[in-house]
Structure 1
């Protein structure tokens, strides 16, 4: 009996221990779940740290190099008819001053002849005025005076005859008609003398109206000289400002085309025209430092922003390696290169470059 009792007691003890272990495991599991839920709730309510994007330190853009004041295309005056170059007095690389003659058009000889003709017309008008102011020729005056003397002699003879006929008529020796005929002859002689004397006075007189007429003709002739000279000046193409000849497009014997005669620029000071995306415009300020690079340059260039554009437009400088939307809009910003950088690119007008404009942190 005793062994059975001991075995039964051991079996009961084992069952009790298993139940205790099961209960403990359940309690531990419940406590773990509760702890996990509490921790999850706390993490959910905890404020998340803000993600800080790295600040932009520079604005990048494409650009091109050109002389300060832009490149000027020199054309003949707009009023000039189809122009052909007759002489070209400059070549690529030459330095010229403002107003210096660059080329002569083929209409120059014809316009020069027009100037000389107008100048001769002035001389003719001046000579005519001098002639009027001098009055009639001395020979003409003497001839008229001789004519007057002859007519006066005839008048005197007619007066003598008229006096004799009047006496005869008074005595009844002749008829009234005979006397009247002689009297009319005397009166006709008197009129001829009067007309001759009036002609002499006219020859000797310098009329103000004649002087004014020829003075007006002189003024008109001089105005034509001024006009002809102005047209002649248009046949010589002059430099609009000082600078260097960058490229010659038209040579002697050629018609001036759409590119003009030549390109002119002040390469003593070079600038970079950067095309800033419209989304970056608000970040760019006057005086900011810019760095310019290009595979064609042995070293980076440096400059400062000297001018901000006033218009948004399509870009002129394209990046062949870029897939940028064709609707991109930009604003042109001018960067004045420092003296050393300007000297390096003095012969690199229109070179495409990459621009990086530093921003304040």
Structure 2
């Protein structure tokens, strides 16, 4: 991702980068030339000493401390969408702060409530079993029986209200469409009469063909509008009727399911017996199972709230409300209050790089004169990832990643420039190493 995002350089920038990449060697040649001139002028026969290079040039890119985190969710492969996005680009967030709410939150909340209700029922059942008094058990079972009946009545009332609502919508839309059809029929009848009258006048030479065609065109237009309105009415009737039938089927299923539950509760009430140890064990197992279901539902619900894994700044929003979460995650997050440069140093130069050495960083036309120190030297040699001026020539280059920590002032300047390609000159003089 880093190499893809980084660099499309203009010819002017390319030329400057070439100059910077050769800065260390150029500076050395310049010093060598001046040294040679002075030596030639004062002691013509003296042999000039070979100059020592004091810097290592490298190309790199800016990134926040710890890199850029693509904040996502473990359920993104399930095709979930963002329901609410609670942050904006550039906003500072705290660790644990909710960044987004997924569209499965309402469903998971309902699952949790159902699991909690089942746990309450299981707890009540356990208490009833432990009580041991037959009359108490009968009373408790009777309460559950009555509760099932009440739940059935409540569900039936809700679904009947839904059916009534859909039926009312059907009637309202049907009446409105029928009124529109009646209006169009009246207009069509008038237009048809006018067309027939003008047709007769035209045949008798009382008007031109153009005038007759204009009037008859109106009749055809109104007739087409009437046909369309009648088709819309048919669609409304079919759609709403289907909704009513579906709601009625749901009602029948609810009644059948609840009736079965009521029958089971009533059978338990009638068959209740003396408490046995095995009854307590069964009730306790049911409580444990419902508690596990509650914990599982709580864990699933927590996943519908996407939280910041650490304190930082929202660098980029990858998924907006209504969109399915992709493999790019929801947002890019980084600790931009402390910026770093990841520089790629050639393997031939890495032995000269030490922790604590000062570094000068620049990017032509964007930033100048940033400073930092070498904070970390990689332990592995790999292929070059940051593409420079000549990708073909650098394809097989072997480099080591060096992390350069910018000063606080420099970090503030480039906090909004993550992934910017930069040029770094590492001062490798022995006297320049600073403690980290």
TM-score, normalising length: structure 2: 0.55
Please name the residue that 2:382 is paired with: 313
Matching of residue 236 in structure 1 with residue 305 in structure 2: yes
SS state at 1:300 partner: strand
Residue number among 351, 364, 368 corresponding to 1:295 in the alignment: 364
* 1:118 Cα deviation after fit: 0.8
Residues 333 and 219 (structure 1), Cα distance of their counterparts in 2 relative to 1, 3 Å cut: same
Q: Deviations over 1:209-255 (max 9, x none)?
A: 21222122111111110011111111111111000000101000001
The aligned residue for residue 271 of structure 1 is 340
Post-superposition Cα deviations, 1:124-171, rounded to whole Å, max 9, x if no partner, equal 112222332332127989xxxxxxxxxxxxxxxxxxxxxxxxxxxxxx
Task: Give how far 1:282 is off.
Answer: 0.7
Instruction: Tell me how far apart the structure 2 counterparts of residues 102 and 311 of structure 1 sit (CA, whole Å).
Output: 36
Contact map agreement 2:76 2:326 (CA 8 A) in 1: no
3-state SS in 2 of match to 1:342 = helix
Work out the CA distance in 2 between the residues paired with 1:100 and 1:238.
5
Tell me how far 1:297 sits from its aligned partner. Answer: 3.6
Shift of 1:119: 0.7
Task: Identify the residue that residue 133 of structure 1 maps to in structure 2.
Answer: 130
Q: What's the secondary structure of 1:299's corresponding residue?
A: strand
Q: What SS does structure 1 have at the residue aligned with 2:345? A: strand
Indicate how the Cα distance of structure 1 residues 92 and 138 shifts in structure 2: closer, same or farther if over 3 A, else same.
closer
Structure 2 runs not aligned, ≥5 long? 1-44, 140-270, 431-436
Alignment-derived partner of residue 38 in structure 1: none
Runs of 4+ in 1 over 4 A off after TM superposition: 48-52, 138-141, 202-205
Q: Aligned residues, how many?
A: 254
The structure richer in helix per residue is 2
- Superposition pairs of residues 246-285 of structure 1, within 5 angstroms: 246-285=315-354
User: Where do residues 78-157 of structure 1 align in structure 2 (5 Å cutoff)?
Assistant: 81-134=78-131, 135-137=133-135
Distance in 1, matches of 2:122 and 2:394, equals 73
Mapped to 2, the partners of 1:76 and 1:254 lie a distance apart of: 14
- Name the CA shift for 1:114/1:345 in 2 (closer, same or farther; >3 Å): same
Of 291, 309, 313, the match for 1:222:
291
Shift of 1:204: 8.1
- Residue of structure 2 equivalent to 1:41: none
73, 94, 98: which is aligned to 1:76?
73
> CA distance change for structure 1 residues 298 and 263 in 2, over 3 Å: closer, same or farther?
closer
| Aligned counterpart in structure 2 of residue 207 of structure 1, from 268, 271, 276 | 276
| CA distance in structure 2 between the aligned counterparts of 1:140 and 1:299, rounded to whole angstroms | 84
Change (3 A) 1:80 1:131: farther
Which among 51, 54, 61 is matched to residue 57 of structure 1?
54
Cα pair 1:65 1:349 within 8 Å, conserved: yes
Aligned to 2:426: 357
Larger Rg: 1 or 2?
1
Q: TM-score, normalised by structure 1?
A: 0.65
| TM-fit CA distance, 1:51 | 7.0
Instruction: Tell me the CA shift for residue 203 of structure 1.
Output: 7.7
| Distance of 1:324 and 1:257 partners within structure 2 | 35
> Counterpart in 1 of 2:404?
335
Distance in 2, matches of 1:252 and 1:238, equals 16
SS at match of 2:333: strand
Instruction: For residues 97-134 of structure 1, give each alpha carbon's deviation from its aligned partner in whole angstroms, at most 9, with x where no partner exists.
Output: 11111111111122111111111111111222233233
CA RMSD of aligned residues (A): 2.5
- Quick one: distance in 1 between partners of 2:100 and 2:136? 55
Is the contact made by 1:76 and 1:83 (CA closer than 8 Å) also made in structure 2?
no
Residue 145 (structure 2) aligns with? none
Cα distance in 1 between the residues matched to 2:120 and 2:138: 25
